[in-house]
A and B are shown apart, each in its own frame.
Chain A
Amino acid sequence: MTSRPPLLKALAALLPLVPCLTGCQPPHPAGQLVVANKSSLGSVDPADITTIGGLQLLSAVGDPLYAANAQGHLQPRLAAALPQLSAGGRIARIPLRRDVRFHDGTRFDASAMVFSLERFRALAKMGYLLDDRISGLRASGPYELELQLKRPYSALPALLSSISLTPLSPTAYRQHRTSSLPDRFVGTGPYRLVSSTPQQQTLLPFSGYWGTPARNSGIHLVTLSNSTALFGALVSGEVDVLTSSGLESDQQRALAQRAASGRLVEAIGPAGEIGYLTLLSDRAPLASPLLRRAVALSLDRPLISERVTYGIRAPLRSLVPPPLAGSAPPAWPIYNPRQARTLYRQAGYCQGQRLTLPLTFRSNVPADRLFALTWKAQLQRDLGDCVQLEISGMESTTAYRQLEKGAFPMILLDWSADYPDPDSYLAPMLGCSRSSGNRCLEGNAAAAGSFWSAPGLQAELEASESQSGGQRRELLQRIQRRAAAGAAYIPVWQVAPRAWAQPRLQRPVFDGSGRLVLQALRVR
């Protein structure tokens, strides 16, 4: 009565399926490529999109008015030239291209651009991007857009390079002027969005595209929910290209090693994300600038970068990542335990008394936890008689809620700017609308959890908005030197996007905003 023979028979019957499983993989349609990332997409409406994956998709199906190239230089895309400023820099007129059509065949013009920007202001979660700067807009001609600025803003082209501001077809979105359209996109980009689910989007080349046509026959964007699955999908050949967003450091290193041995092709884009420490400057234990400077001198960035991320995240001593203006020379000091010890001594520590510093890290970000553990060990080794870290983790959304309440004496965070300009890194951390001495009472610095400001700093930030060229660069460097002296923020590392492709593909290319140029992907 044993069931072994039937079981064995069943298994034997299944065996022939094994080679079939291997051999019967549905082939990729000729010239079409599968690109994987970790970010699932709930909506393809620019008004809803806030994630890296969403912005990556928008960059393939839409066009911005301006775009940064790989060297970081802004160039007109849908705009025909840089803005022409008048009224003391408060009016900007932007000439638009005349040869652009939307995916539905309708013509792109100034009224379509006005429609899209007004819809974005009314609907988008990131509507503040425009509201902060622009008081009004209109079509001053069939192909000329006029923007009324709240104050002169030299980084206007950079702001308008945000892919979230991509134009949408007024015909297709007529019924969705004030409501989201989460599963369709009709824009002007090199690809048409053919189908979309949160896990999968299919893009096919747009035959009426005004610019350089796509070099492949289509892109399938897929989402895999964890780092191991992403890694495995590329290694097994299931996907053609993998982006680094959401991929853990050890897997990035393994892919880099494969690329070094010719089994993959690797590309690195410009760093858009920075990791930094925020120090609570208005209460103990870090109310003293002397102590904050000592902490800044106590961070061995090269060691931590190597131990935590295998050198993938390069050390950073500026709040603005290179190559943006004002990022060089770095304003924050290099690791100097001798000088740090001197400052700790001056503050009354190291003589039988140790400073205990609470450090909070985001428990759902693996690199943050490793950073905390590594820095704790490094301090114990080098300055163990002066300072010790007391580390604790907290889920990121919970932590963000408590920043403005001054809940964290020291916390590790990251920042990705909405558009590639120094202002979009400095203002969110240093901006302060109401301050008293070195204490920010209201504004971005308070919301960011440092509560630090300095007399005249806000005025300098505002002045930098209207300046350009060398004058602006000098001012930005001065602002950063002041921030470094205040030491309420300590930059740690910069995160550059990476992509790996199968060796039969040409090396992927990133644009100046750190997004993969999907239309440039092609088989060798």
Chain B
Amino acid sequence: MSRRRHLLRYLASRLALVPLMLWLIASLVFLLLRVAPGDPIDALLGLRAPPEARAALRQQLGLDQPLLVQYGRYLGDLLHGELGTSLTNNEPVTGVIGHSLPASLELGLVALLIAAVLGLSVGFSGIARPEGKTDLAGRLYGIGTYALPPFWAAMVVQLVFAVWLGWLPVGGRFPATLMPPQGSGFYLLDSLLSGNATQLWGTLRHLVLPASTLGLLLSGVFANALRLNLRRALDSDYVEAARSRGLSERRVVLRHALPNALLPVLTITGITVASLIGGALLIEVTYSWPGVAFRLQEAISQRDYPVVQGIVVVVAALVVAVSVLVDLLVALLDPRISF
């Protein structure tokens, strides 16, 4: 069988599992929400309403129906692409996700870029002198940034750069006094496309702190992964062979060792992207970033079942898609992988 057919079979086998996985996730989130104590009526009305009003609202929201009926309706709607409407404000869940997912993706992608540039630079910097001072510093950087508690790091960065120095905004996604750019929901892209420099500057100023913090926290993983894999590659036979052919060290590293060392980094990137789709909760909460994790956290505290279910299912679908894509990419790039 040709490599292409093998690849297609591999892809088909991965895709075949997707519906099962999504059904399991959708059912689990439905069940867990109902098992968890507290219900939307209490979250919506608190202690305010008399018992009769609570019962009426429960009926109005369809929460008085037997669990199986609710589950059947939920799955039926899901199959038709219907995610329902929010219990708190009657907004369609697709709208909630449509507003918040681009915010998370924008933050995640910029953070990933920062993490990759920073992490790979640090990981690469110690190669000239293994176990030297730069290498040691890089190693410490990798461990240190990985071990930093995100909430604490975000608070410190926020305090220093936003509160004490006043250089950047404390939080939010866009200046309050400007109208946000319209379009895809990716403010950076929309303001670039519209050519509005004020909007672009406002977007960038709000993006710098959360993206840098998240990027800094993620960069350690990249630094360590590159450092370890590059060291391993530089010790391998094919690199020795290249050296023995009289190639310059620069060429040996850049052309022979680095491409092989970057393959595991690609897998790590895939996993990181997948985790960032769901949003970086602590970063979003600290910087009041209106992303999907922030919205999910709000929805959980309000026991807004449709919003929680919708976000989890959509994010799960995207994570699965990214995982399949990364697996495919690695399989294509790495000839050692058989499928």
Contacts and interface: CB of A to CB of B under 8 A. Distances in A.
B121 A229 contact: no
Contact of A28 (B134, B168, B177): B177
B43 A32 contact: no
Given A21-B205, A397-B303, A448-B47, A200 B176 contact: yes
B286 A229 contact: yes
Interface string B30-66: 0000000111001111111111110011000000000
A228 B175 contact: no
Contact of B177 (A34, A45, A223, A236): A34
Contact of A397 (B38, B127, B287): B38
B49 to A, nearest CB: 5
Contacts of B53: 126-128, 131
A228 B124 CA distance: 37
Contacts of B294: 225
Interface string A204-248: 000000000000000010111110110111011111000000000
Contacts of A45: 89-90
A236 B166 contact: yes
Contacts, number: 180
Contacts of A351: none
Interface stretch (B76-84, B157-165, B239-247, B261-269): B157-165
Interface stretch (A144-152, A399-407, A480-488, A513-521): A399-407
Given A26-B202, A127-B53, A225-B285, A401 B42 contact: yes
A18 B161 CA distance: 11
A443 B166 CA distance: 53
A220 B167 CA distance: 21
B68 interface: no
Contacts of A117: none
Contact of A3 (B37, B125, B205): B125
Give the most central of A29, A198, A415, A447: most B CB within 10 Å.
A198
B170 A233 contact: yes
A75 B267 CA distance: 67
A3 B128 CA distance: 9
A175 interface: no
Contacts of B37: 397-398, 401-402
A261 interface: no
A418 interface: yes
B91 interface: yes
Contacts of A27: 177
A390 interface: no
A251 B76 CA distance: 49
Nearest to A22: B167
Given A179-B90, A232-B158, A402-B37, A224 B170 contact: yes
A195 B181 CA distance: 13
A236 B163 contact: yes
Nearest to A446: B51
Contact of A4 (B38, B91, B134, B158): B134
A43 B198 contact: no
B321 interface: no
B44 A1 contact: no
Contact of B201 (A24, A222, A233, A448): A24
Contacts of A228: 155, 158-159, 286
B278 interface: no
A179 B90 CA distance: 8
B171 A403 contact: no
B125 A4 contact: yes
Interface in B168-195: 168-180
Contacts of B173: 199
A447 B50 contact: yes
Contacts of A42: 86, 88-89, 91
B286 A226 contact: yes
Nearest to A2: B128
B298 interface: yes
A444 B125 CA distance: 69
B290 A197 contact: yes
Nearest to A181: B90
A18 B167 contact: yes
B50 A128 contact: yes
Contacts of B131: none
A458 interface: no
Contacts of B43: 397
Contacts of B14: none
A225 B283 CA distance: 11
B272 interface: no
B245 to A, nearest CB: 19
A18 B166 CA distance: 11
Given A1-B127, A125-B57, A229 B158 contact: yes
A238 B52 CA distance: 45
A4 B124 CA distance: 10
B170 A43 contact: no
B235 interface: no
Interface in A47-99: 48, 50
A180 interface: yes
A346 to B, nearest CB: 33
Interface in A18-45: 18, 21-22, 24-29, 32, 34, 40, 42-43, 45
B163 A235 contact: yes
Contacts of B170: 224, 229, 232-233, 236, 238
Contacts of A199: 172-173, 288, 290
Contacts of B178: 26
Q: Which of A42, A202, A402, A431 has the most chain B CB atoms closer than 10 A to its own CB?
A: A42
Contacts of A28: 177
- Of the listed residues B47, B52, B159, B167, the one surrounded by the most CB atoms of chain A closer than 10 A to its CB is B47
B301 interface: yes
A248 B253 CA distance: 54
Interface string B119-140: 0010011011000001000000
A393 to B, nearest CB: 13
A364 B91 CA distance: 26
Interface string B79-117: 000000010111100000001000000000000000000
Contacts of A195: 179
A195 B180 CA distance: 10
Most buried by A among B45, B176, B180: B176
Nearest to A34: B176
Given A26-B201, A395-B38, 19 more contacts: A29-B177, A42-B89, A125-B57, A126-B45, A128-B56, A132-B50, A222-B176, A224-B171, A226-B286, A228-B158, A228-B159, A233-B169, A238-B166, A397-B37, A397-B43, A400-B42, A401-B37, A418-B48, A428-B50
20 contacts: A2-B134, A18-B167, A21-B167, A26-B177, A40-B298, A43-B88, A45-B90, A48-B89, A50-B44, A50-B45, A132-B50, A179-B90, A199-B173, A229-B286, A232-B170, A233-B162, A395-B38, A397-B37, A428-B50, A447-B50
3 A-B pairs with least C-beta separation: A43-B89, A42-B89, A128-B53
Interface of B: 37-39, 42-53, 56-57, 86, 88-91, 99, 121, 124-125, 127-128, 134, 155, 158-159, 162-163, 165-180, 198, 201-202, 205, 208, 249-250, 253, 285-288, 290, 294, 298, 301-303
